[in-house]
Amino acid sequence: MYINREISWLEFNQRVLDQAYRRELPLLERVKFLAITASNLDEFFQVRVGGLMLLQQSGKGHTDLTGLSAGEQLELVRLRAARMVADEYMLMNNELMPLLQQANLAPLGIDELSETQYSALEDHFLSNVAPLLTPLAMEVERPPVLPSLSIVLGLELQGSTGGECRFVAVVLPESLPRRVHAATLGKDGYVLLEELVAEFIGHLFPGEQIVHSSPLRVTRNGDIAVAEAEGGNFAREMEAVLVARKFSDCVRLELPSATSAEFAQRIAALVGADEFSTYRVPGPLRLVDFGQLASEPGHEQLKVESWLPAYPADVDPGMSMFENIAEGDILIHNPFESYEPVIRFVEEAAQDPDVLAIKQVLYRTAKNSRFIAALCRAAEAGKQVTVLVELKARFDESHNLDQAERLQRAGVQVVYGVKGFKTHAKITLVVRRENGTLRRYCHFGTGNYNEDTARLYSDLSLLTCNEHLGADASQFFNSVTGLTRLMRFRRLYPSPSAMKERLLELIAAEEQRARRGERAEIRAKMNSLNDPEMMAALERASAAGVQIQLNIRGICCWVPGTVEGQANTRIVSIVDRYLEHARIFSFGNGGSPLVYIASADWMRRNLDRRVELMVPIEDRRLAARVQAVLDACFRDNLQACLIRPDGTSVPVPRDERMPAFAMQEHLQTQARQNARDRERAGRLTLEPHRPR
């Protein structure tokens, strides 16, 4: 039984919003989840709604797995999204804003200001805001295109002697903070930038009267692909895509509910929005900005208690990473365990005179990436450094272009991915000279090389010098940089050449065991499931009696279509303080489970149209640790939701006789305990290792 992908994603975002509705959570944690919901919805409109609109305009008549046309999907999406937006503002207006007011964290209205405060803000506007504003006349033959996702103030102006009105748009600069503070407003007092500009914008139009004003926000189609022509300059083509996004069609127009109907119609006509794409909201635009309240220092009593990552028990900080890895494979589960050893691995490789070569795939990196800095140092030191930078990482293209240029200036050999495919694999290979021979050290992960998101996303890393995995890593890089075919490997399973085939084999093997009356089991954790072949294989396996447990954070387009399959299958989704991002697959294999981690979800795009990697966890101790993560997924009775046949979800029913259990809290506690146990055992040296 299939569920529409877009509706499934919106139901995932509802689970995020449901966290903001939890009154037992601290206020700023609830505000954070509301902001995440709004941010997710922004990207959904840019990519998914934008893509559906293009598909509808093409007139190709394509339908999804559930038989819905693009137009039918758009209708469902708009109805569901409108309900979600209404829920967001109901929560903000009825619960969160009053609580923010009690904590003196709500924005002040202009009418609440004293004369002294009002004068101070007017001075601030004239000195620090007005010089940055650029009014754009919209009543021209070719009006300027308003930028996507920015807050814009729309103005209707009339001369002092009357006559026709004209429409002007003022884009609020992203360089200005949304919350405008002034000393006279008190420690935490602020007004919203759009309120400040609307109040004093008359200074920019002497001799004219402001008839109407309203903030507005346009969302433009971000689903624009790069044309990978033969012999073309890929970086230049990507720059063209970034320009095209600025001028793409409007997929959503947001306006305050108080905006008059006539004024709203005029704005909609100017930006190219129809009635179905216009959303009237009863509160401030761009709710995502309120999430900054949760990330700024202060007001700790309104936040959840911070969890500091434990240093991985398997890593001795007094030894080099090469010495650590040589002692045995290392598994790191961030952010419960520190991601620092992964960064150290690359930084030490850049500095180590015995390291001859470093190869790495970069998809999304931090703004001030330590990985980029280390790779530059390595190249400048004369090492052979090759980096595959994926320019098609959506909404990170500009950043990746900048990083690629920086790497090239340092002497790094930069490759821009594989034609026709996104390279999404998470892999680093370091070649080191030891005792007259060359030894390969590898890192494989489920998450990006990004030290910022490593504190927010739950991911797994494998550090190893296994000979077979090292040989496969070399073959992988030779394939993607030399544009040769991804052949069969000894241990690794890449997509698009081998991963899906292997997964289907493993599912079929469990199905055959079930048909023979043997115990058969599939357990998996991923972000999304929508690949038709994978879903069909799961359908057959569940009907045959395979016990299937899936933890799918986001899109889930499958639930069993038979009574037998539903009895054998349990699908849960967990939303908690960290974003669940690790991909883990386990197959019973007759009592000797086969365990894998991967960069790929079970989505058609990952398995058929991306370069990904699935890595076996062969060390029994580490495989048991990975299995324990799955155990925790399916024990969670506080943060987990059950996915229902219609795609909606409900909290996992909790038997009051069973103790409360939250997976992330358990993993955090376990990581701390493991670190303490090893420290007590005296196996950690006190002084950190200092590279030569």
Of 248, 269, 290, which closes a domain? 290
Q: Report helix, strand or coil for 55.
A: helix
**558 in any annotated domain:** yes
Q: Are residues 532 and 474 in the same domain?
A: no
Banded model confidence at residue 240, pLDDT cuts 50, 70, 90: low
- Residue 473 CA to residue 659 CA, distance in Å, equals 44
In the set 124, 212, 333, 424, the catalytic residue is 424
Taking only the tens place, the pLDDT of each residue in 580-589 is 999 999 999 9
Taking the C-alpha atoms of residue 589 and residue 442, their distance in angstroms, rounded to an integer, is 27
Which stretches of 202-297 are assigned E, i.e. beta strand?
A: 208-220, 250-256, 278-281
Q: DSSP letter at 251?
A: E
Q: Are residues 483 and 500 in the same domain?
A: no
Domain boundary among 244, 269, 290: 290
Contacts of 238 (CB under 8 A, 6+ apart): 226, 391, 392, 397, 401
Give pLDDT tens digits for 129-153: 999 999 999 887 788 889 999 999 9
Taking the alpha carbons at both ends of the chain, their separation in whole angstroms is 59
88, β-bridge pairs: none
Overall pTM > 0.85: yes
Same domain, yes or no, for 147 and 239?
yes
Q: Which residue segment(s) compose the domain that 350 sits in?
A: 321-487
Handedness of CA 67, 71, 75, 80 (dihedral sign): positive
All residues at 6 or more sequence positions from 580 whose CB lies less than 8 Å from its CB, including other chains:
458, 525, 527, 551, 553, 574
Range from 68-77, 435-444, 547-556, 652-661 carrying the lowest mean pLDDT: 652-661
Look up the CATH number of the domain holding residue 357: 3.30.870.10
* Cα-to-chain-centroid distance, residue 581: 9
* Same structural domain, 262 and 354: no
pLDDT in tens, 476-494: 999 988 877 777 789 999 9
Write the pLDDT tens digit of every residue in 368-398: 999 999 999 999 999 999 999 988 777 778 8
241 inside domain: yes
Q: In this predicted structure, what is the pLDDT of residue 692? A: 47
Chain centre distance of CA 467? 33
User: Both tokens of residue 420?
Assistant: 């026709």
Where residue 251 sits, what CATH number does that domain have?
3.30.1840.10
Is 428 in the same domain as 480? yes
Structural contact between residues 586 and 626, judged by C-beta atoms closer than 8 angstroms: yes
Q: Quick one: pLDDT at residue 187?
A: 83
Is residue 306 assigned to a domain? no
Domain for residue 445, yes or no?
Answer: yes
Same domain? For 525 and 635 the reply is yes
On whether both 482 and 456 belong to a single domain, the answer is: yes
Whether residue 300 lies inside any domain: the answer is no
Task: Assess if residue 336 is contained within a domain.
Answer: yes
Place of tokens 């991915």: 417
Q: What's at 213, amino acid-wise?
A: S
498 and 478 within one domain: no
pLDDT at 233: 56
Share of the chain above pLDDT 90, in %: 82
Q: For residue 225, what pLDDT is reported? A: 58
In 3D, which of 146, 123, 431 has the Cα closest to residue 270? 146
User: So what's the pLDDT on residue 396?
Assistant: 78
Please tell me the predicted confidence (pLDDT) of residue 686: 44
Task: Output the pLDDT for position 94.
Answer: 98
Q: Answer with the one of 290, 313, 339 that is the final residue of a domain.
A: 290
689 carries an active-site annotation = no
pLDDT for 241: 55
**650 phi, psi to nearest 5 deg:** -135, 150
**Do residues 145 and 259 share a domain?**
yes
At 429, which amino acid appears? L
Tell me the pLDDT band of 242, cut-offs 50, 70 and 90.
low
Identify whether 3 is part of a domain: no
Question: How deeply is 146 buried, as exposed, middle or buried, from its count of CB atoms within 10 A (0-12, 13-18, 19+)?
Answer: buried
The mean pLDDT of the chain is 92
In this structure, the answer to whether residues 365 and 469 fall within a common structural domain is yes
Q: Are residues 465 and 502 in the same domain?
A: no
Mean pLDDT over 450-467 rounds to 97
Q: Is residue 2 part of a domain?
A: no
How many domains are there within the chain? 3
Angle between helices 70-91 and 50-58 (to 10 degrees): 160
- Read off the pLDDT of residues 79-90 as tens digits, 9 standing for 90 and up: 999 999 999 999
| One domain for residues 462 and 531 | no
